[in-house]
């Protein structure tokens, strides 16, 4: 792999920001960085044999995100867990399937794969209704190779990072020197070696007030400093966090992400391109 381009498609908590019906200072902010779609990321891994295109989570805003940020291809989907704000856009993968009619692999933790099979039984169980996408659901437990659906032999290694969302086991994912962990309140000691030597870490940081299933800003800062990536970006924020104010108060090397943030990870350094 010669480099990764990561686009954060959404950085907001499960309601999205602005919250419907809310007139707080964040929901009415004129700063576009205070408008947050539901969390997802698009990762393009450049390899000698060509690019591999990955989407991490397909929530309710996936169609809008694909249009806004110009997603042209999807070789695989990495699902972190089965909550609404991370999976209900799966059906909007159809245009990517129709393009070459090759099944799109969807990778998920075992518990999540079982729930997805129920939630989307018409896709994963029946699979015969005309016009549906062919999505292949895979439970993963260890590192595996994702290959391009264009057939040029391009492939990239993905490593699941086991973590907990309250008591719910879920995965973050590592690709090269980039790792993405959303909706986490505990990262077990056993997972920390999988997060060594990162250029970019994207990490859940909900708000300042404690929450049973998400890191607070303060908990996320402590974990980011322990992991020690060269740069860390926080996601899944509620409307209690004004972007400019919160970002300015974070320690060096730790930033509040915003929708559309593009990160170039080339194995040596991380650069940020602000839209
Ligand atoms: Zn979430
Ligand atoms: Zn609000
Ligand atoms: Zn969740």
Predicted pLDDT at 20: 98
Range in 56-65, 118-127, 192-201 the model is least confident about: 118-127
Predicted pLDDT at 236: 98
CA dist 167 and 184 (Å) reads: 10
Digit-coded pLDDT (tens) for 44-71: 999 999 999 999 999 999 999 999 999 9
Comparison of pLDDT for 65 and 126, the residue scoring more = 65
Q: Report yes or no: 188 and 167 within 8 Å, Cβ to Cβ.
A: no
Digit-coded pLDDT (tens) for 221-253: 999 999 999 999 999 999 999 999 999 999 999
Residue 27 CA, ligand 2 centroid: distance in Å: 4
Residue 271 has pLDDT above 80, yes or no: no
Ligand found nearest the CA of 15:
1
**Mean pLDDT value across residues 115-121:** 96
What 3 state SS string does the chain have?
A: CCEEEEEEEECECCCCECCCCCCCCCCCCCCHHHCECECEEEEEEEECCEEEEEEECCCCCHHHHHHHCCCCCCCEEECCCCCHHHHCCHHHHHHHHHHHCCCEEEEECHHHHHHHHHHCHHHHHHCCCCCCCCEEEEECCCCEEEECCCCCCCEEEEEEEEEEECCEEEEEEEECCEEEECCCCECCHHHHHHHCCCCEEEEECCCCCCCCCCCCHHHHHHHHHHHCCCEEEEECECCCCCHHHHHHCCCCCEEECCCCCEEEECCCCEEEECC
Residue 90 CA, ligand 1 centroid: distance in Å: 15
Residue 19 CA, ligand 2 centroid: distance in Å: 5
Residue 275 has pLDDT above 70, yes or no: no
Predicted pLDDT at 12: 98
Q: How confident is the model at residue 187 (pLDDT cuts 50, 70, 90)?
A: very high
Q: Tell me which residue range forms the domain holding 72.
A: 3-273
Predicted pLDDT at 262: 97
Predicted pLDDT at 1: 84
Residue 191 CA, ligand 3 centroid: distance in Å: 19
Predicted pLDDT at 265: 94
Residue 100 CA, ligand 1 centroid: distance in Å: 31
Residue 26 CA, ligand 1 centroid: distance in Å: 19
Look up the pTM and report it: 0.96
Comparison of pLDDT for 271 and 75, the residue scoring more = 75
Ligand found nearest the CA of 17:
2
CA dist 77 and 94 (Å) reads: 13
Residue 176 has pLDDT above 90, yes or no: yes
Predicted pLDDT at 266: 80
Residue 93 CA, ligand 3 centroid: distance in Å: 21
Residue 272 has pLDDT above 90, yes or no: no
CA dist 114 and 237 (Å) reads: 28
Number of domains in the chain: 1
Ligand 2 ion: residues within 5 Å (CB) = 19, 22, 24, 27, 239
Return the sign of the alpha-carbon dihedral for residues 219, 208, 200, 271: negative
Q: Report yes or no: 104 and 123 within 8 Å, Cβ to Cβ.
A: no
Residue 179 CA, ligand 1 centroid: distance in Å: 17
Residues in the chain, overall count: 275
The encoded tokens of residue 182 equal: 């959303």
Ligand found nearest the CA of 20:
2
Predicted pLDDT at 42: 98
Residue 231 CA, ligand 1 centroid: distance in Å: 22
Predicted pLDDT at 152: 80
Predicted pLDDT at 116: 97
Ligand found nearest the CA of 23:
2
Q: How confident is the model at residue 129 (pLDDT cuts 50, 70, 90)?
A: confident
**Mean pLDDT value across residues 149-157:** 90
Residue 275 CA, ligand 3 centroid: distance in Å: 27
CATH code, domain carrying 115: 3.60.15.10
Digit-coded pLDDT (tens) for 131-147: 898 999 999 999 999 99
């Amino acid at each position: 792999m010669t480099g990764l381009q990561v686009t954060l498609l959404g950085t907001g908590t499960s309601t999205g920001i602005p919250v419907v019906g809310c007139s707080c200072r964040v929901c009415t902010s004129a700063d576009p960085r205070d408008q947050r779609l539901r969390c997802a990321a698009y990762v393009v891994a450049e390899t000698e044999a060509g690019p591999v295109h990955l989407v991490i989570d397909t929530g309710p805003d996936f169609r809008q995100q694909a249009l806004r940020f110009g997603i042209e291809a999807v070789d695989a989907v990495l699902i972190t867990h089965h909550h609404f704000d991370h999976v209900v856009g799966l059906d909007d993968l159809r245009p990517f399937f129709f393009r070459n009619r090759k099944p799109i692999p969807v990778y998920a933790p075992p518990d999540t794969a079982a729930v997805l099979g129920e939630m989307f039984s018409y896709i994963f169980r029946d699979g015969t209704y005309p016009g549906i996408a062919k999505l292949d659901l895979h439970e993963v437990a260890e590192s595996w190779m994702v290959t391009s659906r264009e057939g040029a032999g391009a492939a990239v290694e993905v490593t699941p990072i086991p973590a907990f969302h309250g008591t719910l086991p879920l995965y973050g994912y590592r690709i090269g020197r980039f790792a993405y962990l959303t909706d986490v309140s505990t990262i077990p000691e056993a997972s920390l070696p999988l997060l060594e030597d990162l250029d970019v870490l994207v990490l859940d940081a909900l708000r300042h007030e404690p929450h049973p299933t998400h890191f607070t800003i303060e908990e996320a800062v402590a974990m980011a400093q322990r992991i020690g990536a060269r740069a860390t970006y926080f996601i899944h924020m509620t409307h209690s966090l004004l972007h400019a104010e919160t970002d300015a108060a974070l320690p060096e090397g730790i930033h509040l992400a915003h929708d559309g943030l593009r990160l170039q990870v080339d194995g040596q350094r991380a650069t940020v391109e602000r839209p």
